[in-house]
Amino acid sequence: MLSRYEHALEALNRRARLRALEGRAGIDFTSNDYLGLAESDALKAALVEALQRGVPVGAGGSRLLRGNHPEHEALEEEAKAFFGAESALYFGAGFAANAALISTLPQRGDLVLYDALVHASTHEGLGLTKATTESFAHNDVTQLEEKLRAFRASQAEARCFIAVESLYSMDGDLAPLTEIATLATRYDAILMVDEAHATGVQGPLGRGLAAHLEGQPNLISLHTCGKALGVSGALILMPEILRRFMINRSRSFIYATAPSPLMAAGVRAALKLCASADDRRATLQARITQLDAHVQKLGLPVTGTQIQPIVLGADRRALDMAQALARQGFDIRAIRPPTVPEGTARLRITLSASLAPAQVDALGAALTHLMQDQAA
């Protein structure tokens, strides 16, 4: 009965694609804790304070039942003020929030145009929506406009949605948001921006790369709380009418137990820390500049962001390189298809403000030696 699963796992292993859970070991060059807040004393103190004033750990039910807690509502009010949006809605996880957006708002007869490299959570929603869906080449504004023009020529009244990330999680590059936002306005489309890896790091006070667009009626932005903010969950920023629609129609919201009120209190504290974290962002930028210098010496392209892929091509090569780095005390994971396109297996290096300069230099030296050994 279970043999088919065993065979599937064996096939993955033969292709160097078998995954397994691993413990934490080595210097962290793989997590998304970009500001170093996840283990900070400030966040720990905020959660202790919340417990002391009686904030419960569990919600006890969905938010449409008894699970709606004042901490959820306070967080959403503070989030919309911080990001400059008309409303905010808190979900327990970024994956669920992104999938809920795509599966709920676009309707039959609508069109969702999405960047070819959007996150798996967006693809989850794309698989559930009744709207028509089409991809456009990564960051290709020209192709996006061609598809928008063709749709509007045949469907003048239907809704169109554009789904992009602001900072791409596997490539570390930025979307041309200003140009895409201009097209969204020109063709009467709703722009959905996943800010997961930009939140806390990019934009004024860490408000993200779409901060200059926030508050516009055709913008929806998603800010995950489990990366640079160091906690968990996700905030969707959107016009109030769409928030009300999500509350009434999103199955992921209606039928899920509400996020922990204690964690909502933690996110409130994280947003305050984020607003005053320019020093951490400056430190992170210094580590980015430092790693860029090492990567350039290897003759590889740099991203200029806290996410630096080292594309190696073959799955086995990426896995072997990650294991070699682990033996030297660095925690860097091999990213293989289907997470990334075929033939682009890579090391995904991420940087944090908590890293010391000597640790980045040590990684640069280790990478140089390993790449030289493989080339020999």
- Burial class (CB within 10 angstroms; exposed 0-12, middle 13-18, buried 19+) of 339: middle
Q: Which of 32, 40, 103, 221 is catalytic?
A: 32
**What is the side-by-side strand order in the sheet with 87-91?**
87-91, 234-238, 219-224, 190-194, 160-165, 111-115, 132-136
Q: Which of 221, 227, 250, 294 is catalytic?
A: 227
| Residue 194 is a catalytic residue | yes
Q: Which of 103, 121, 169, 252 is catalytic?
A: 169
| Residue 32 is a catalytic residue | yes
Cβ(266)–Cβ(50) below 8 Å: yes
| Residue 130 is a catalytic residue | no
| Residue 98 is a catalytic residue | no
Q: Which of 28, 110, 194, 195 is catalytic?
A: 194
| Residue 119 is a catalytic residue | yes
Q: Which of 123, 197, 223, 294 is catalytic?
A: 197
> Tokens 């890579």 — which residue?
346
Q: Which of 33, 165, 195, 214 is catalytic?
A: 165
| Residue 354 is a catalytic residue | no
- The Cα–Cα gap between 137 and 142 comes to 9
Q: Which of 69, 72, 80, 119 is catalytic?
A: 119
Catalytic residues, by residue number, are: 32, 119, 165, 169, 194, 197, 227
